[in-house]
Amino acid sequence: MISDDQMLQEADFPDDFIDKHHPNDFIPSTEYIQELYFHRLPLHNRLLLRISFRLKNNIYIPFTFVLDTGATCHMYINSITRRLIKERIYEDDAGNQFINLSSGKRFGIYPSPDLHSDTNIIGVIGLAYFGLILQENSFEFINLPSYI
Protein backbone atom coordinates (compact mmCIF):
# COMPACT_ATOMS: atom_id res chain seq x y z
CA MET A 1 0.00 0.00 0.00
CA ILE A 2 1.26 3.46 -0.89
CA SER A 3 1.41 5.91 2.01
CA ASP A 4 0.30 9.52 1.60
CA ASP A 5 3.89 10.77 1.49
CA GLN A 6 4.64 8.46 -1.49
CA MET A 7 1.66 9.60 -3.56
CA LEU A 8 2.28 12.33 -6.09
CA GLN A 9 1.02 15.64 -4.77
CA GLU A 10 0.92 19.23 -6.00
CA ALA A 11 3.97 19.96 -3.82
CA ASP A 12 5.98 17.46 -5.91
CA PHE A 13 5.82 19.87 -8.84
CA PRO A 14 7.25 23.38 -9.31
CA ASP A 15 5.10 26.21 -7.94
CA ASP A 16 4.03 27.45 -11.37
CA PHE A 17 2.61 24.05 -12.36
CA ILE A 18 -1.16 23.58 -12.31
CA ASP A 19 -2.80 20.23 -11.53
CA LYS A 20 0.62 18.50 -11.77
CA HIS A 21 1.34 19.85 -15.25
CA HIS A 22 3.20 22.79 -16.74
CA PRO A 23 0.74 25.62 -17.54
CA ASN A 24 1.55 25.30 -21.27
CA ASP A 25 1.21 21.52 -21.48
CA PHE A 26 -1.42 20.12 -23.87
CA ILE A 27 -1.19 23.16 -26.18
CA PRO A 28 -0.29 22.36 -29.82
CA SER A 29 2.59 24.31 -31.35
CA THR A 30 4.89 24.27 -34.36
CA GLU A 31 7.91 24.12 -32.00
CA TYR A 32 8.94 21.25 -29.76
CA ILE A 33 9.80 21.49 -26.06
CA GLN A 34 12.32 19.55 -23.99
CA GLU A 35 12.89 20.66 -20.39
CA LEU A 36 14.37 18.85 -17.39
CA TYR A 37 13.33 19.72 -13.82
CA PHE A 38 15.19 18.65 -10.69
CA HIS A 39 12.59 19.67 -8.13
CA ARG A 40 14.08 19.73 -4.61
CA LEU A 41 11.80 19.12 -1.65
CA PRO A 42 12.56 18.92 2.09
CA LEU A 43 12.38 15.10 2.35
CA HIS A 44 12.78 13.96 -1.26
CA ASN A 45 13.26 15.20 -4.81
CA ARG A 46 11.26 14.74 -8.01
CA LEU A 47 12.72 14.45 -11.47
CA LEU A 48 10.43 15.74 -14.20
CA LEU A 49 10.70 15.80 -17.97
CA ARG A 50 8.64 18.06 -20.17
CA ILE A 51 8.80 16.83 -23.76
CA SER A 52 6.73 17.22 -26.92
CA PHE A 53 5.10 14.50 -28.97
CA ARG A 54 5.18 15.06 -32.71
CA LEU A 55 1.85 14.68 -34.48
CA LYS A 56 0.84 15.14 -38.12
CA ASN A 57 1.96 18.19 -40.10
CA ASN A 58 4.84 18.95 -37.72
CA ILE A 59 2.54 19.85 -34.84
CA TYR A 60 4.00 19.24 -31.38
CA ILE A 61 2.19 18.91 -28.06
CA PRO A 62 4.20 19.11 -24.80
CA PHE A 63 3.50 16.92 -21.77
CA THR A 64 5.10 16.66 -18.32
CA PHE A 65 6.30 13.27 -17.08
CA VAL A 66 7.39 12.19 -13.61
CA LEU A 67 10.56 10.11 -13.92
CA ASP A 68 9.93 7.15 -11.62
CA THR A 69 12.33 4.25 -11.11
CA GLY A 70 9.63 2.48 -9.09
CA ALA A 71 7.35 2.28 -12.14
CA THR A 72 8.24 -0.91 -14.00
CA CYS A 73 7.20 -0.17 -17.61
CA HIS A 74 8.17 2.24 -20.40
CA MET A 75 5.55 4.98 -20.14
CA TYR A 76 2.25 5.60 -18.36
CA ILE A 77 -0.09 8.26 -19.73
CA ASN A 78 -3.20 9.91 -18.35
CA SER A 79 -6.49 10.15 -20.24
CA ILE A 80 -5.82 13.68 -21.57
CA THR A 81 -2.47 12.67 -23.04
CA ARG A 82 -3.97 9.48 -24.49
CA ARG A 83 -6.70 11.47 -26.23
CA LEU A 84 -4.27 14.01 -27.67
CA ILE A 85 -1.79 11.44 -29.05
CA LYS A 86 -4.28 8.74 -30.07
CA GLU A 87 -3.07 8.89 -33.70
CA ARG A 88 0.40 7.79 -32.45
CA ILE A 89 -0.81 4.79 -30.40
CA TYR A 90 -0.75 1.34 -32.01
CA GLU A 91 -1.71 -2.09 -30.74
CA ASP A 92 0.03 -5.39 -31.49
CA ASP A 93 -1.60 -8.81 -31.92
CA ALA A 94 -1.32 -9.48 -28.19
CA GLY A 95 -3.20 -6.25 -27.32
CA ASN A 96 -0.14 -4.35 -26.10
CA GLN A 97 -0.26 -0.64 -26.87
CA PHE A 98 2.84 1.24 -28.00
CA ILE A 99 4.16 4.24 -29.88
CA ASN A 100 7.01 4.17 -32.38
CA LEU A 101 9.97 6.37 -31.55
CA SER A 102 11.89 8.01 -34.40
CA SER A 103 14.63 5.41 -33.79
CA GLY A 104 12.15 2.68 -34.74
CA LYS A 105 11.91 1.43 -31.15
CA ARG A 106 8.46 0.36 -29.96
CA PHE A 107 7.79 2.08 -26.67
CA GLY A 108 5.11 0.52 -24.45
CA ILE A 109 2.20 2.74 -23.41
CA TYR A 110 0.08 1.97 -20.35
CA PRO A 111 -2.68 3.84 -18.51
CA SER A 112 -1.44 5.79 -15.50
CA PRO A 113 -2.07 3.85 -12.27
CA ASP A 114 -5.34 4.71 -10.51
CA LEU A 115 -3.55 6.48 -7.64
CA HIS A 116 -1.75 8.69 -10.19
CA SER A 117 -4.40 8.82 -12.91
CA ASP A 118 -3.86 12.55 -13.50
CA THR A 119 -0.10 12.14 -14.04
CA ASN A 120 2.17 10.99 -16.88
CA ILE A 121 5.07 8.77 -15.82
CA ILE A 122 8.17 7.39 -17.51
CA GLY A 123 9.13 4.16 -15.77
CA VAL A 124 12.43 2.42 -15.27
CA ILE A 125 12.46 0.65 -18.67
CA GLY A 126 11.92 3.96 -20.45
CA LEU A 127 14.50 5.72 -18.27
CA ALA A 128 17.05 3.00 -19.06
CA TYR A 129 16.34 3.23 -22.80
CA PHE A 130 16.71 7.03 -22.77
CA GLY A 131 19.96 6.68 -20.79
CA LEU A 132 19.17 8.49 -17.55
CA ILE A 133 22.31 9.69 -15.76
CA LEU A 134 21.99 11.01 -12.22
CA GLN A 135 24.50 13.49 -10.87
CA GLU A 136 24.61 15.51 -7.70
CA ASN A 137 21.63 17.90 -7.89
CA SER A 138 21.07 17.29 -11.62
CA PHE A 139 20.36 14.68 -14.25
CA GLU A 140 20.62 14.19 -17.99
CA PHE A 141 19.89 11.66 -20.70
CA ILE A 142 22.32 10.25 -23.26
CA ASN A 143 19.68 8.86 -25.63
CA LEU A 144 16.70 11.20 -25.32
CA PRO A 145 15.30 12.41 -28.63
CA SER A 146 14.43 16.10 -29.04
CA TYR A 147 10.77 15.05 -29.19
CA ILE A 148 8.80 11.83 -29.07
Domain that holds residue 45: 29-141
Domain assignment present for residue 3? The answer is no
Cβ(51)–Cβ(148) under 8 Å?
A: yes
Domain assignment present for residue 49? The answer is yes
Domain assignment present for residue 126? The answer is yes
Distance CA 54, CA 10 (A): 27
pTM: 0.90
Domain assignment present for residue 107? The answer is yes
Burial 47-77, CB ≥16 within 10 A → b, else e? bbbbbbbbeeeeebbbbbbbbbeebeebbbb
Q: How many domains is the chain partitioned into structurally?
A: 1
Domain assignment present for residue 46? The answer is yes
Q: What is the pLDDT along the chain (148 residues), one digit of tens a residue?
A: 344 456 677 677 777 888 888 999 999 999 999 999 988 777 778 899 999 999 998 999 999 999 998 889 999 999 999 999 999 999 999 999 999 998 889 999 999 987 778 899 999 999 999 999 998 889 999 999 999 9
